[in-house]
Structure 1
Amino acid sequence: MLLDRVVKEVNATVRGWVGYFHFRNCTQVLGQVRNHVEQRLITHLRKRHKVRNRMTGYIKFPNRSLYVKYSLYKVPTSAAWTRERTP
């Protein structure tokens, strides 16, 4: 599977999840989601490039490169609104 397709599917899933649950005091939870997505993509890249050492993977694939080079969706860590939307 191409890396672009993997990132595209991850982005779609995370965007949907954030769009549904992004409400009020969600900073801590969304921060955990962001960290999890970053770690899983780094793990995928480590396996793809046969980098065995976890620390070397973090050095070779820093978080910034995940967003710039691989176009990973950056999960917002604060809600844009504080009340529920009413239709």
Structure 2
Amino acid sequence: MENSGSAGVPLGDVMKHLNASLRGWVGYFHYRNSSKVLEKVKMQAEQRLRTHLMKRHKITDRGTALLRFPSQKLYADYGLYKVPLTAGWKTAHASV
């Protein structure tokens, strides 16, 4: 019988794939004035992980999930990649 969701996938594998995707997004979009976009990416990643954990732990209430899996816990306990919100470099072009 096939699993219809990712709740049966080992959490380490989920985090590995999620963090790789986040690093790719940051590497591609992390330049001047990207903080608003990266904030949305960060919030989406936190919510997606929280939703996955809700399914894994059979939690149906979002309020309960926010209390049980606050953002700090997602980073400290689950190892979620911390998306930088300030640009590490100023332009997307190499200087001449």
Q: Please state which band the TM-score falls in when normalised by the shorter chain.
A: over 0.9
Provide the residue aligned with 2:88 in structure 1: 80
Q: Percent identity?
A: 49
What TM-score do you get using the length of structure 1 for normalisation? 0.95
Task: Give 4+ residue runs of structure 1 displaced > 3 Å after superposition.
Answer: none
What TM-score do you get using the length of structure 2 for normalisation? 0.87
2:39, 2:50 → 1: CA distance?
17
1:29, 1:84 → 2: CA distance?
15
CA RMSD in angstroms, aligned pairs only: 1.1
Match of 1:67, SS state, is helix
Larger proportion of helix? 1
2:18, 2:75 → 1: CA distance?
13
The unaligned stretches of length 5 or more in structure 1 are none
Counterparts of 1:13-24 in structure 2, within 5 Å, are 13-24=21-32
* Cα distance, 1:84 vs structure 2: 2.6
